[in-house]
Chain A
Amino acid sequence: MRDNEHWDLVIKPKSNWLDINFADLWRYRDLILLFVRRDFVAQYKQTILGPVWHIIQPLFTTFLYAVVFGEIANLKTDGSPRPLFYLSGIIMWNFFSGCLLNTANTFIANAGIFGKIYFPRLVIPISTVISNSIRFGIQFFLLIDFLLFYIFVRDIHISITYYVLYVPILIIIMGVMGLGFGIMISSLTTKYRDIALFLGFALQLLMYLTPVIYPASLWGKYQWVMDINPMTPIIESFRHAMLGSGHFDMTGIIYSGIFSIVVFLIGAILFTRTEKTFMDTV
């Protein structure tokens, strides 16, 4: 007998490689926004400074780096004022590592909710990335304030070029890459918790392999390390667009873009495979 009836929902074993139900995600858009709100509100409840922490944290790190890597280690900054150089690197890196770290525990941290109710699991990582984008937005304005201070008060010449128009693209690539790695790791950690323990260490290592606290030109004959790191062209180009230092690397950006899409697709495949049965292994 043929079944010609219309069914709103068919529950079946995991099958497709990449099975993202966009209509479903759209239906839960309110939930995404509520999660974003929850993240913001809950994070700074019972703090005095509240969201000001979003600004304090990069400021403090910038100060720390300027002292340790600037004054003491005396690493060059390609001619940019140190605070600008470090701040621009830090907010980009924070955005990436925030997207990655906060999505990497999606399954473990939400096992309680996931075990009781269905909603598209991607809602959580997506809302995390939105939260991080908002935080990045706040920090970006901090960077602009710094820029204006240096241009108008300190009278330092900073050449801002039309490359600024590429900044949104750079940010999107960074976000997609963080999300891709994050959901990939979140899927793997449901089986092997070791990865979560290793993650903080790995990210720190990766930061030192990325031109966050030094310019890409520092590596000299080990330049290839910089070249294969997909984060390099993003941060370098971001600095070039905002501060005029370093160089703008179009090929590098394309490489990073493709890299981020591949990472995201692998992440999404793992994620959709995991979300259906992870409750059995968690």
Chain B
Amino acid sequence: MSNTVIKVDNISKYYRLGVVNTGTLKDDLRLRMAKMRGKEADFYKIGEDRSTDSDFMWALNDVSFEVKQGEVLGIVGKNGAGKSTLLKILSRVTAPTSGNIKVKGRIASLLEVGTGFHPELTGRENIFLNGAILGMSKQEIKSKFDEIVDFSGVERYIDTPVKRYSSGMYVRLAFAVAAHLEPEILIVDEVLAVGDAEFQAKCLGKMKDVSGQGRTVLFVSHSMAAVKKLCTRAIVLKKGKITLDSDVISGIEDYLNTGVGVSDEGIIPDNASSYTTGDAKFKSIVVKNKKNESTNTLYYEQAFTVELELELFRDVEKAIIDFSIGNFENRFSYTSTFEISKNPIDLKKGTYTLSIDIDPKLLPGNYNFYLGVHEMSKVSITLDMVERIKIITVLPITENNNIRYPLDVSLGNIRIDGNWKINKQL
């Protein structure tokens, strides 16, 4: 007798995109003919990535894993990695194309709070309706009714139609119902945690309670902070496949490394641009320390130089080049623009090398880079843009190992030095 409560076996999900069939009848027929002749249809461009084809895709491809009782499993991945699809299959909103999932115990999914709330009904009526939709019996809701109302803090308006509620009251009531659900397995989507900070904290706190009671939680997110805080294990999905299944910390590290990778020489791959007009291309990025050595790891308080190679395929008037450092939660920490340091300049067609000396006093952690080149002639046009490229790690110790960053967790991304004074009061 094992204590496995969810067993996912070779789950795949195939989506056909576009309107009901493929785009047009003509393409439909050509695809069919090509298949009959046993080769690929000729209207795909040479070298086109079939996995991102617009007509069909495998949202999940042969995914298997098990979840044990009491585990809090984080499911991590970028947009389009298949997280939501997995969630939908687990919560039985849609069926898989192949494979099966076996579950022990009652499963409840919270992809949204307040599902089925009817604006015309009162708070009281909606508690019952929403509770029943979530799978509670009338008896169960009755016994928890006072608790729910208490938790929501809307007891004064409980007999008012919810359409007259403020949006805050509405969400609080909806969450109160969801929070009093007591399933053996809870599936939660991170979109739940939208709202103000207090509400987010409440959501996460409630989830911690649930897992503390020995129940199993599946948490889907790309908020690393939340996953780190809550989960005991993480699986990383990438293009519909599990690329990693392990303890949380390494799951997160792995997730970080799915940013746009560069080769050791810093060559940026051809398809790395998140936007480009084709008039310019960032070719390489190298981070060098003061000894002029290329590196991906920096010591705390260590200054460094970023060297970029940029090719322009035509003359560009009033060029602006920007460079940003961001952390893995996609928050920018530091931005430097060529325009701020100097006026926009006209650049001729050709390849340029740029170097930026920076001493931004990054706190320990992982960071990646954002690059952009824009033309500001008549209208401003972005010529090429690369996001989340390369990863550098800032270590919590200084180069000569004499000072250690004093805290385990970085509070923020950049250190701004303050001038401290201290006086003993008389």
Contact = CB atoms under 8 A, between A and B. Distances in A.
Interface in A1-22: 3, 5-14
Contact of B95 (A5, A12, A38): A12
B15 A280 contact: yes
B120 A118 contact: no
Nearest to A192: B20
Contacts of A31: 132-133
B92 A8 contact: no
The range of chain A's interface size is: 35 or more
Interface stretch (A97-105, A109-117, A144-152): A109-117
Interface stretch (B38-46, B104-112, B370-378): B104-112
Contact of A116 (B20, B90, B93, B95): B93
Given A41-B125, A118-B93, A9 B132 contact: no
Contact of A118 (B102, B109, B137): B109
A12 B98 CA distance: 7
Contacts of A7: 7, 102-104
A41 B120 contact: yes
Given A9-B107, A11-B90, A113 B96 contact: no
A30 B94 contact: no
Contact of A12 (B15, B96, B133): B96
Contacts of A34: 128-129, 132, 138
B133 A10 contact: no
Contacts of B99: 12-13
A117 B133 contact: yes
A281 interface: yes
A263 to B, nearest CB: 25
Interface residues of B, number: 44
Given A31-B133, A41-B120, A42-B121, A276 B94 contact: yes
Given A117-B93, A277-B95, A10 B102 contact: yes
B347 interface: no
B118 interface: yes
B161 interface: yes
Nearest to A35: B129
A116 B92 CA distance: 9
A13 B7 CA distance: 15
Contact of B161 (A3, A6, A27, A45): A45
Contacts of B20: 191, 281
B380 interface: no
A119 interface: yes
Interface of B: 1-2, 7, 15-16, 20, 88-107, 109, 111-112, 115-116, 118, 120-121, 125, 128-129, 132-135, 137-138, 161
30 contacts: A5-B2, A7-B7, A8-B104, A8-B106, A11-B95, A12-B100, A12-B101, A13-B96, A13-B97, A14-B95, A28-B135, A30-B137, A31-B132, A31-B133, A37-B125, A38-B118, A38-B125, A46-B120, A112-B115, A113-B133, A117-B91, A117-B93, A117-B109, A117-B134, A118-B91, A118-B109, A119-B135, A276-B95, A279-B93, A281-B20
Given A37-B125, A280-B15, 10 more contacts: A6-B104, A10-B103, A11-B95, A12-B99, A13-B96, A27-B137, A30-B137, A113-B116, A116-B115, A279-B94
